Structure 1
Amino acid sequence: MKDIKKPKPAKATRGRPRDESKNIAIIEAAVQLFLEKGFDSTSMDEVARVAGVSKQTVYSHFSGKEQLFSASIRAEIESRYPDTVLKKLEKRSLEGDMLAVCESFAGLLLSRRALSMYRLLVSAADEKPGLAKIFWESGPNEMEAKLEAFLQMWVDRGELAIDDIGKACNLLFTLLKGRAHYQRSIGLIDEIDDDMIKETVKEAIGVFMKLYKA
């Protein structure tokens, strides 16, 4: 059984700061290639070509494919973190916060890119179990921690009654994926539109509130 190395933390660079636009272009190219060709069949040369930069530039930003894969996952997920989403709200309430957080997270879970990544990880599970570990530690693990912190905040305010935050968080994940994730994963449906996401979120919040609203 083959495995891959866990990416090393990025080293501090000396001299001029990294060009953020090139960084974004490299990550976008990497995501595109990982999803189209898989992890093994994607090369740093191809990433450079698709991003429109030199191979040297790619390596000045990322030490290797593992670190680039990790950065790609983090870039996809960071904007969906509950604390990031909630900064955009003018008014705060349990219902409003739940709706904003759940719509954002469901939009990520049910996106075409997320479902393609899910398929990539499933297909690589036997030969490269380390890829799933990199994926999990690069975003979903922190997303789970942030969602738990979000729920705990409303428990502390007396509006949610939850004995096991971890269990409640896992239930919310499952509810937000709903039937749509499974159906899209196996190709039963071609697309998940905004209406399907909104309906899934509405049902998920309804069930969750019945169980945990104080």
Structure 2
Amino acid sequence: MSGASIKERGQGPQAGESDKRRQILEGARQVFMASGFDGASMGEIARAAGVSKGTLYVYFDSKEALFEALTTEEKEGLAEALFRLDEDDPDLCAVLTRLGTSYLAMMARPEHVSLIRMVIGACEKFPRFGQAFFEAGPACGTERLKAYFDSQVAAGRLAPTTDTDLAAKHFLHLCQAGMMTRLLFNVGEAPSEAEIRYRVAEAVRVFYAGYGPPTAG
């Protein structure tokens, strides 16, 4: 592992450094959200975080390393919070309803939409940003949902022919069904709770119609 990777993971020389690292990441979040990747500077980030530039460089040796750490950790946190699925829960529709509701509420947050825009804007110049963000969030979430669907196929609650990887992607896209595209282009407001409930109910209905066991209905 390279020295830069160690710094990016917050495993530097000080035993109690996690709080300082989090302080730096919070300052970076403020600056990146306000100025974007290209407009942000390490000096501005240090000031926003309340640390010296020397301290900043102890933890992150470049703006690129800091940006990648911030965006991937943000997405990892979302995936961890959202995709905690009990494989033994027999109430498939209830599990999907809870997941879909939390997923849409989280995805529609203005700060999350801004984060996605920021990564999209930077990944043409730095493709690894996009790959790291994708692997930490969408790919991780899909893999966890696939594992849950695998268990439901084994239990006979989903059709035995289900392609569980594709089914996981289908469900998540059924939930947002164009919502993220609209929000990314800054068209209209975030969905209301009533709209989220409706979207998720329809997503569950359509999903189960396509992937439910042969005896369903």
> Could you tell me the TM-score, scaled by structure 1's length?
0.78
Instruction: State the partner residue of 1:103.
Output: 101
Tell me if structure 1 keeps the 8 A contact 2:79–2:137.
no
| Pairs aligned (count) | 205
| Partner SS for 1:10 | helix
Give the Å deviation of 1:30: 2.0
**Percent identity of equivalent pairs:** 27
Asked whether the 8 Å contact 2:82–2:103 carries over to 1, the reply is no
Residue 61 of structure 2 aligns to a residue whose secondary structure is: coil
Residue by residue over 1:36-72, the C-alpha shift from the partner in whole angstroms, topping out at 9 and shown as x without a partner, is: 2221222222222112223233333333333322332
SS of equivalent residue, structure 2 residue 5:
coil
Q: Which has the higher contact order (CA 8 A, sep 6+)?
A: 1
CA distance in 2, matches of 1:28, 1:198: 32
1:137 to 107, 113, 135: 135
Provide the residue aligned with 1:58 in structure 2.
56
What is the Cα deviation at residue 189 of structure 1?
0.1
Alignment map for 1:66-145 (pairs within 5 Å): 66-81=64-79, 86=84, 93-124=91-122, 126-145=124-143
Question: 2:177 is aligned with what amino acid?
Answer: G
Distance 1:85 1:173, change over 3 A: closer
CA separation in 2, counterparts of 1:86 and 1:31?
Answer: 26
Work out the CA distance in 1 between the residues paired with 2:109 and 2:206: 22
Work out whether residues 72 and 132 of structure 2, in 8 Å CA contact, stay in contact via their aligned partners in 1.
no
Partner of 2:17: 18
Shift of residue 15, structure 1, vs aligned partner: 4.0
Query: 1:176 — aligned with what?
Result: 175
Moved more, 66-75 or 38-47: 66-75
Q: Please identify which structure carries the higher helix content.
A: 2
One-letter code aligned to 2:129: L
Secondary structure, in 3 states, of the residue corresponding to 1:26?
helix
Which structure has the bigger radius of gyration? 2
- Once the two structures are TM-superposed, the CA of residue 204 in structure 1 deviates from its matched residue by 1.6
The answer as to whether partners of 1:147 and 1:169 remain within 8 angstroms in 2 is yes
Give the partner amino acid of 1:9: S
In structure 2, the CA distance between the partners of 1:71 and 1:131, relative to structure 1 (3 Å rule), is: closer
Give runs of ≥4 in structure 1 deviating > 6 Å: none
Q: CA RMSD in A?
A: 2.9
Q: Which runs of 5+ in 2 are unaligned?
A: none
Deviations 1:127-154 (A, max 9, x none): 4433322322333322222222222222
